[in-house]
Amino acid sequence: MSNGPTASDLLARLEAVSKRYGGKEGLHEVSLELPQGQAIGLLGLNGAGKTTLLKLLAGLLVPSQGRVEVLGGRPRAMRAHVAYLSDAETYPWLSPADGERLMQGLYPDFNRVRYKELLAFLEVPARPSRSMSRGQRARLRLAMVLAREARLFLLDEPLAGIDLISRDRILKTLVHQWREEATLVLSTHEVAEAEGIFDRAVFLKEGRVVLDASAEELRARGRSVRETFVEVLA
């Protein structure tokens, strides 16, 4: 059992947060604490509430009920410290050079050197998005967001469209490198890729947290992430 986070290393917090879209509930009384320096996997089937949860933390949505706090303030006011990668497509004309120009102008914490390293690591071609494959576009968006020196990274299905072999390599590097300096929350419904990578896994089902367990706790259960996923979500 891991020790709970202290007030000083707590980066973000959700307190009994619900989000309703008209009559439909996207999240139901979710409470979570995100400490500094953790890699957290947000796991669930499509429509489980992963994107809603990430958007609430990014300040893109306001909760219908409950409280969301990031770095001690309202998420909207903390955007300068939060890097969010949505699952939306990018501009069709956007090339890696355009990405650099755009990010540098909009985000003071954008690191050009890191961006160039990421472009090389992720093997992003130097051409407009419209002539890239889906996976290459996903890599470009990932490089743009990860090149920020943010305190909290919120990545919504960042590896969608990337081939399986590259995905594993990227994810391992990404998690090991970034959790040293920031908290990483990554949503996925590809449970296989969550195995042995995250410090903690939060399982969502129909807008509710059905299991929130550290890697040690999962190991103590004697089950893999995939088996746990099937057990708690099926």
Partner 1 sequence: MSALPTLLWLEFRKSQSFVAVLAGILLLTAVGLARLGANPLNQPEEEAIALFSVAATVGSTLLVVALFLSARQDGTGLLPSVPGGLVHQLARFVYWGVLGTLFALVLTGLLWAYFDRVVPGMPGLSSTMTLLFYGLGLFWLPGVAYLLLAFSYVQSYQLSRLGWLAGLVAFLGFFSLAGALVQVGSKVAYAALPPLTLSLQSLNNRLDDIRLPLEPLLLSLLLAVGLLLLAGRVWDEVEA
Alpha-carbon gap, residue 232 to 234, rounded angstroms: 6
C-alpha to C-alpha distance for 84 and 203, rounded to whole angstroms: 20
| Nearest of 66, 45, 52 to residue 24 by alpha carbon | 52
- 158 interacts with partner 1 by CB under 8 A: no
> Applying CB under 8 A, does 152 fall inside the site for partner 1?
no
3-state DSSP call for residue 10? strand
CB of 196 to partner 1, least distance (A): 30
Choose between 105 and 222: whose C-beta lies nearer to partner 1: 105
- Please tell me the count of residues contacting partner 1 according to CB under 8 A: 29
Which one of residues 21, 91, 123, 133 is an interface residue with partner 1 (CB under 8 A)?
Answer: 91
Regarding 79 and contact with partner 1 (CB under 8 A), the answer is: yes
Decide: is 111 part of the binding site for partner 1 (CB under 8 A).
no
Minimal distance, residue 104 CB to partner 1, in Å = 8
Our CB check for partner 1 shows the closer of 101 and 172 to be 101
Q: Cβ 129 to partner 1, closest distance in Å? A: 11
Query: Considering only residues 24, 93, 180, 222, which one is a binding residue for partner 1 as defined by CB under 8 A?
Result: 93
120 binds partner 1 (CB under 8 A): no
| Strand bridging mode 183-188 / 152-156 | parallel
Does 52 contact partner 1 by CB under 8 A? no
Tell me the window of 4-12, 119-127, 141-149, 166-174 that interacts with partner 1 (CB under 8 A).
Answer: 141-149
Q: Which stretch binds partner 1 (CB under 8 A): 18-26, 44-52, 88-96, 174-182?
A: 88-96
Sign of CA dihedral 22, 26, 162, 149: positive
d(CA 199, CA 174): 13
> Whole-angstrom Cα distance, residue 72 to residue 8?
10
Instruction: Tell me which of 104, 166, 177, 224 binds partner 1, using CB under 8 A.
Output: 104
The 10 Å Cβ neighbour count of residue 15 is 15
| Among 51, 52, 86, 183, interactor with partner 1 by CB under 8 A | 86
How far apart (Å, rounded) are the C-alpha atoms in residues 168 and 59?
Answer: 29
For residue 39, give every residue at least 6 positions away whose Cβ sits within 8 Å of its Cβ, in sequence order, or none.
175, 178, 179, 183, 184, 186, 197, 198, 199, 200
**CA–CA–CA angle 34, 38, 39 (5° rounding):** 105
Interface contacts to partner 1, rule CB under 8 A: 58-62, 75-76, 79-80, 82, 84-86, 88-91, 93, 98, 101-102, 104-108, 141, 144-145
